[in-house]
């Protein structure tokens, strides 16, 4: 029997955002952060507010009954989505982060000082910080799967399991690298440890990146708990799922207290509701639950295997294309990967590259991706991450690779460093920079190139890279120093980002060597707007420019 063919055009046609005039050329490769929403999800949210808006479980009137029926219908659909034995094993949370916090707080209450929690270096911060907080609160020990350059070797998990291991909480797919562990091998190691150590350790899977790309079957995986967020698999933001084995959930204390999660309350004691409601304090995001239900129905009629094959084809092309370009360090691998390409430029900064791509209407993500331990171990402060979904096309991939080729033609060679002691610095010579030339550039791409050229006028200054000189508010680190000589003010700047250097050169070309009165008379913010920079730069980049401007003004006593 031949494999069915996936129609990406028919699939993409169901997502209204891509039909908007301003998005017709958009290449959206930020799906690991959040996916776009099909029309049925958007309509379900609107329909709830239009026809069924009422609180659940608390009233007997028609709208409340309808809202309650919707919530429990979606809970049953969610149980089917992850193949949970019972809807009682599904808890609605605001997302995977809240679900992991719930588990950490509730599971750790019964542990003893010295008990151990096993994590990996590839975890999202949401699967690190809650356990760190509980370890500090209860005197628990954190242990980590052995790794090479930050990449966990999950086949060596057994090496860190012992009689004190109580919780193993591991990613189901790295948001930074896309790495998907071998669940069958992890289950085998955990089952062996349970038998040999007579241990009751519990296995938590962070499935935030998993659910969009694979069919989830908690019974086949063999985990005790699994969490995921709807907005990662075409659903709305603000709602997620926690699966937990019914016997374990029943034994766990609730995390939050309030309405819905109680059966009875007196002045000194409360009796909690039955599962799953004892973990759902307060009013849930009911419209988001309606949207989640629509997303589950939407995925239920898709050919998930064909979607996965399409995504893997895109991922293979992305990795082979990056490898062929050179000048880019690949961190991810296409094998066992849930749709993520991660790389860093050998010259220039990842943030500069991401803004270049944004200028071509290509959406990627740059930074540490809430996986700082992994990034640090890999020797990177930031990477560019392109992540695919089933609506991405071969044309999207080729447009992205063409944009990278164009970026790599820019002169990204390093600027010379200014040597000397910490207080021995000099202003850069910015006399060759012409504001008129920057303003005359015909489009944003040309203006961006010119800004990058201006950045070469700012020499590297290792001596000024002190915390006291760091300018807070810049997306990429920037350091600014100042001194006054005979009534005139002089500045020097450094940054790892060529764009930040270019913006700094623009600012300093106007203020360096001037008196305080002359600087106060300048309309720098107006110049920034007139050049169209506020329109094309991200809010964080614009805020960085204004942070530099504010530091120069505070330096002269404003």
Spatial CA neighbour of 226 closest among 216, 234, 236: 216
Structure confidence at residue 558 as a pLDDT band (50, 70, 90): confident
- Percentage of the chain lying above the pLDDT 70 cut: 95
Cβ count within 10 A of residue 173: 27
Residue 58 has pLDDT above 80, yes or no: no
* Paired tokens of 169: 């909480």
Instruction: Tell me which residue has tokens 């907005």.
Output: 231
Cα–Cα distance measured from residue 11 to residue 37, given in angstroms and rounded to the nearest whole number: 11
pLDDT confidence tier of residue 269, bands split at 50, 70 and 90: confident
Catalytic one of 93, 108, 223, 370: 370
Give me the percent of the chain exceeding a pLDDT of 90.
68
Residues 134-174 pLDDT 10s:
999 999 999 999 999 889 999 999 999 999 999 999 999 99
Which position has the higher pLDDT, 417 or 206?
206
With beta carbons less than 8 A apart as the criterion, state whether 120 and 143 touch.
Answer: no
Burial of 346 (0-12, 13-18, 19+ CB in 10 A): exposed
Averaged pLDDT, 422-434 = 78
With a CB cutoff of 8 Å and minimum separation 6, the contacts of 252 are 106, 107, 244
Residue length of the chain: 558
> Stretch 529-546: mean pLDDT, rounded?
77
CA end-to-end span of the chain, whole Å? 75
At residue 450 the predicted structure's pLDDT band, cuts being 50, 70 and 90, is confident
* Catalytic status, residue 223: no
In this structure, what is the dihedral angle of CA atoms 321, 324, 330, 335, given to the nearest 10 degrees? 60
What is the average pLDDT across 163-188? Answer: 97
Q: Which residue has the higher pLDDT, 420 or 378?
A: 378
Would you say residue 418 has pLDDT above 60?
no
The set of residues, in sequence order, having a beta carbon less than 8 Å from that of 321 and lying 6+ positions away, is 397, 401, 404
pLDDT, residue 422, reads 42
- Mean pLDDT, range 389-399, rounded to an integer: 98
* Confidence label for 421 from pLDDT (cuts 50, 70 and 90): very low
pLDDT at 279: 94
> What average pLDDT does range 442-454 have in this prediction?
81
Q: Which of 401, 407, 370, 371 is nearest to 386 (CA)?
A: 401
Is the pLDDT reported for residue 351 higher than 50? yes
Query: SS3 for 23-52, per residue?
Result: HCCCEECECCCCCCCCHHHHHHHHHHHHHH
Higher pLDDT, 221 or 259: 221
Domains of the chain: 8-30+303-408 (3.90.1150.10), 41-300 (3.40.640.10), 435-555 (3.90.1010.10)
Q: Are 126 and 207 in contact (CB under 8 A)?
A: no
pLDDT tens sequence across 467-483: 889 998 766 788 999 99
Output the 3-class SS for 301-357: CCCHHHHHHHHHHHHHHHHHHHHHHCCEEECCCCCCECCEEEEEECCCCHHHHHHHH
Residue 44 pLDDT class (50, 70, 90 cuts): very high
Q: Which whole number is the average pLDDT over 315-331?
A: 96
Q: Do 293 and 44 meet the contact criterion of CB atoms below 8 Å apart? A: yes
Return d(Cα 83, Cα 80) in angstroms, integer: 5
What is the model's pTM?
0.84
- Looking at the predicted structure, is the pLDDT value of residue 420 above 60? no
Token pair listed for 130: 């809650």
DSSP 279: G
> HEC states along 348-369?
CCHHHHHHHHHHCCEECEEECC
> Average pLDDT in the 387-408 region?
97
Distances (CA, A) of 268 to 114, 252, 271: 33, 21, 11
């Amino acid at each position: 029997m031949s494999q069915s063919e996936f129609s990406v055009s028919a699939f993409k046609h169901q997502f209204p955002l891509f039909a908007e005039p301003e998005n017709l050329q958009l290449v959206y490769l930020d799906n690991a952060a959040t996916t776009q929403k099909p029309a049925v999800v958007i309509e379900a949210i609107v329909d709830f507010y239009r026809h069924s808006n009422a609180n659940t479980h608390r009233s007997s009137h028609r709208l409340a009954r309808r809202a309650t029926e919707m919530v429990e219908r979606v809970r049953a659909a969610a149980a089917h989505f992850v193949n949970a034995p019972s809807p009682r094993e599904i808890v609605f949370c605001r997302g995977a982060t809240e679900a992991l916090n719930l588990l950490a707080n509730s599971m750790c209450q019964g542990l003893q000082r010295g008990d151990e929690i096993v994590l990996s270096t590839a975890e999202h911060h949401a699967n690190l910080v809650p356990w760190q907080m509980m370890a500090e609160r209860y005197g628990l020990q954190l242990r980590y799967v052995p790794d090479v350059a930050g990449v966990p070797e999950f086949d060596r998990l057994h090496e860190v399991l012992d009689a004190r291991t109580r919780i193993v909480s591991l990613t189901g797919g790295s948001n930074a690298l896309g790495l998907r562990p071998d669940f069958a091998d992890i289950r085998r190691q955990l089952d062996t440890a349970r038998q040999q150590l007579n241990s009751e350790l519990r296995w938590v899977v962070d499935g935030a990146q998993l659910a969009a790309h694979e069919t989830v079957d908690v019974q086949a995986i063999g985990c005790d708990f699994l969490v995921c967020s709807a907005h990662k698999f075409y659903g709305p933001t603000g709602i997620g799922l926690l699966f937990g084995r019914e016997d374990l959930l029943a034994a766990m204390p609730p995390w939050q207290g309030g309405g819905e999660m109680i059966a009875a309350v007196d002045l000194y004691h409360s009796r909690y509701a039955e599962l799953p409601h004892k973990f759902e304090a307060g009013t849930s995001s009911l419209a988001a639950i309606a949207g989640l239900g629509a997303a589950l129905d939407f995925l239920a009629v898709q050919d998930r295997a064909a979607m996965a094959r399409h995504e893997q084809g895109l991922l293979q092309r992305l990795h082979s294309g990056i490898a062929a370009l050179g000048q880019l360090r690949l961190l991810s691998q296409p094998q066992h990967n849930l749709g993520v390409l991660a790389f860093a430029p050998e010259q220039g900064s990842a943030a500069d590259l991401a803004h270049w791509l944004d200028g071509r209407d290509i959406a990627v993500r740059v930074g540490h991706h809430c996986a700082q331990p992994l990034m640090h171990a890999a020797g990177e402060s930031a990477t560019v991450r392109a992540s695919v979904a089933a609506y991405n096309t071969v044309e999207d991939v080729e447009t992205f690779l063409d944009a990278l080729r164009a970026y790599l033609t820019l002169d990204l060679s390093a600027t010379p460093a200014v040597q000397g002691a910490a207080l021995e610095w000099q202003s850069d010579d910015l006399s060759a920079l012409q504001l008129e030339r920057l303003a005359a550039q015909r489009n944003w791409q040309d203006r961006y190139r010119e800004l990058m050229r201006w950045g070469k006028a700012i020499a590297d200054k290792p001596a000024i890279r002190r915390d006291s000189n760091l300018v807070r508010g810049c997306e990429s680190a920037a350091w600014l120093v100042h001194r006054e000589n005979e009534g005139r003010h002089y500045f020097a700047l450094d940054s790892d980002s060529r764009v930040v250097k270019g913006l700094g050169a623009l600012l300093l070309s106007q203020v360096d060597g001037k008196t305080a009165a002359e600087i106060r008379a300048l309309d720098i913010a107006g110049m920034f707007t007139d050049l169209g920079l506020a329109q094309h730069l991200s809010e964080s980049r614009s805020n960085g420019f204004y942070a530099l401007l504010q530091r120069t003004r505070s330096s002269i006593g404003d």
